[in-house]
A and B are shown apart, each in its own frame.
Chain A
Amino acid sequence: MSAVSDIAVTASAPPRHPVAQFLRRLVREKPFGAAAGVVFVLFLLCGIFADVLAPYGYNQISPIQRLKPPSWAYPFGTDNLGRDLLSRCLYGAQLSVIIGLSAAALATVISVLIGTLTGYLGGRFDMITQRFVDAYMSFPELIILITVVSVVGPGMPQIIVILSLILGISGSRIIRGAVISVREHMYVHAAQSIGASTGRILWRHILPNIMPPIIVLFTTRVGTVILAESGLSFLGLGVPPPAPTWGGLLSGSGRTYMFQGPWLALAPGLCLTSVIFATNVFGDALRDLLDPRMRGTR
């Protein structure tokens, strides 16, 4: 008996941290996804350290420097009030990071709550809840957003709550699917047979084993939220000015002075495009590596 144990001691693989191991795989198998991941992390850092990085205040007006094209002093140019566009884009990144991360996190929590409960408990409860989810998903998201925002008024907390509710409910499908497949594993059965409570089974057995789809869901949601928030801001229903959101930059000075200063539209537009593109590519790469079953879901 001890001989068997000894063999296992010597034969076990050299210890390597699972996260390090995963990053190696990411770089090796999905170089494009890894690059997107770098862009995503840079964007997060820009957002977090916007106060340090921004050369000027986001609302610092200097009337002499109106509508200056990009230069060394103003890398992204200035707007019609002489505000530095780079600083405004950096502060915009900050808002996007705050809204993106918090709404995506909240949405994921909602998805996990609904998904695990309906998926694990199943039966009639699942049937009824899922019909509500169906009904909810049949409304176009933007219409719900516009309706609700026009009722409660624009503002960051409202937008975070509404976006996370909308995305959380639709995302619960993905989590539910993962839970249903994990639920059938023998170890869940084994936990039931020792008399473990439902809460314990969900927390200790189901949740740790659906982490891959949860991570992927969260990452892709960040991009979705930023895009949705920009859409709202563009329509004037997002975070109210003078807060410099990317969508707001596009619709405000960006649209009005598009021909006098094309950089006013280009800079926030490129920020938005590259970050959304990077999150989507990074999310797809994570999905392919962590959870091949989820290919083809949105």
Chain B
Amino acid sequence: MAEPLLRVDDLKVHFPIEGGMLLRKQVGSIRAVDGVSLTVNRGETLGLVGESGCGKSTTGLAIMRMLTPTGGRIAFEGQDITAYDKAQMRPLRRRMQMVYQDPYGSLNPRMKVRDLIGEPLVVHGLASDRRAYEDKIASLMRTVGLLPAMADRYPHEFSGGQRQRIGIARALALEPSLIICDEPVSALDVSIQAQVVNVFVDLQQRLGLAYVFIAHDLAVVRHVSDRIAVMYLGRIVEIAKRDTLYRSPQHPYTQALLAAVPVADPVVEASRSRAIVSGEVPSATKPPPGCAFHTRCPHAFARCRTELPALRDLGDGQAVACHLDEANG
């Protein structure tokens, strides 16, 4: 296969914890992302799921180079961008964009929709021809299902779903090849979620976009993703093609996540058995030794407490990081 659009190798993002009264010194670190490797091909959607605090958003921000990775390597369109500075990233910002979780906070309340959508064009010097600029904004608004006549309104005049469409139009303005979607529908009503998700799917088919789709809602991820990576405490514990993952999840954590998805039938819901995960996610400042999941895993055995399982390839694009799986076969 050709070089993937995005390749992330062993990405680490650690945030320092500083202490001391007068002289700041580092007393520890939060291992938000601790060795994540993944690839995204052109026109593909990679779902990234996990509980709050598992490092999925941090991974997204590191790929956007909104923060500097502690270790590892990020390659985008064949360029190693791990150590790029602000000026070097600027031309690349046209090629990768981000859609944010909060449709209320991510749009400047003092800017009109026209200026919000047009801002990326202005920033990258693509707004010299006034007429073409206006046309572009109108066509972007139509693309995401907004009326171009609403261009002179302010964000507070729109509903959450419409604001998210504005955010998507903004991301599309520069015709990127990759969009990082950081929980783009979690803040929306369920009825609106489907509409916005369909905007994403529809755009991908038309424009050949690749997405990294970060979410905690497995139903949404299932709908949009080609492949899905499951994260736990800064690491990927399982990655597989969508159908494989939902049909035969290998990691106990994936199994538990899938089991936690409610079934829309009260009889089935009441009778089905569930893999129950109790307790809280351990602290990322002091991850447990061995497999990070062993504190909550129903199948944990001695080896899990001492040895960190590596991500093992099971074929057909599926890989899992679990000793259990290795022991079984």
Contact = CB atoms under 8 A, between A and B. Distances in A.
A189 B146 contact: no
Interface string A184-221: 01110111111111001000110011000000000000
B145 A195 contact: no
B97 A194 contact: yes
Give the size category of B's interface with A.
35 or more
Contacts of A187: 105-109
A28 B157 CA distance: 24
Given A2-B145, A209-B108, A200 B123 contact: yes
Given A4-B161, A5-B150, A190-B98, A195 B105 contact: no
A190 B166 CA distance: 13
B119 interface: yes
Given A2-B145, A5-B146, A186 B123 contact: no
Interface string B124-165: 100000000000000000000111001001000111011000
A1 B124 CA distance: 30
Contact of B93 (A185, A193, A204): A193
Contact of B100 (A1, A186, A197, A208): A186
Contacts, number: 82
B314 interface: no
Interface residues of A, number: 26
Interface residues of B: mostly helix, strand, loop or mixed?
loop
Contacts of A8: 150, 157-159, 162
B111 interface: yes
Contact of B109 (A2, A5, A209): A209
B105 A194 contact: no
Contacts of B150: 5, 8-9
A197 B109 contact: no
B147 to A, nearest CB: 5
A204 to B, nearest CB: 7
Interface residues of A: mostly helix, strand, loop or mixed?
helix
A207 to B, nearest CB: 9
A186 B105 contact: yes
A10 interface: no
Contacts of A71: none
Contacts of A205: 108
Nearest to A11: B159
A21 interface: no
Nearest to B157: A12
Interface of B: 64, 66, 89-90, 93-94, 97-98, 100, 102, 105-111, 115, 119-120, 123-124, 145-147, 150, 153, 157-159, 161-162, 167, 170, 174, 195
28 contacts: A1-B145, A2-B145, A4-B145, A4-B161, A4-B162, A4-B195, A5-B146, A5-B162, A8-B150, A8-B158, A9-B147, A12-B157, A186-B100, A190-B98, A190-B106, A193-B66, A193-B93, A194-B119, A194-B120, A195-B89, A195-B93, A195-B120, A197-B123, A208-B108, A208-B110, A208-B111, A209-B109, A209-B110
Given A194-B124, A208-B111, 6 more contacts: A4-B145, A4-B195, A187-B105, A193-B64, A193-B66, A209-B108
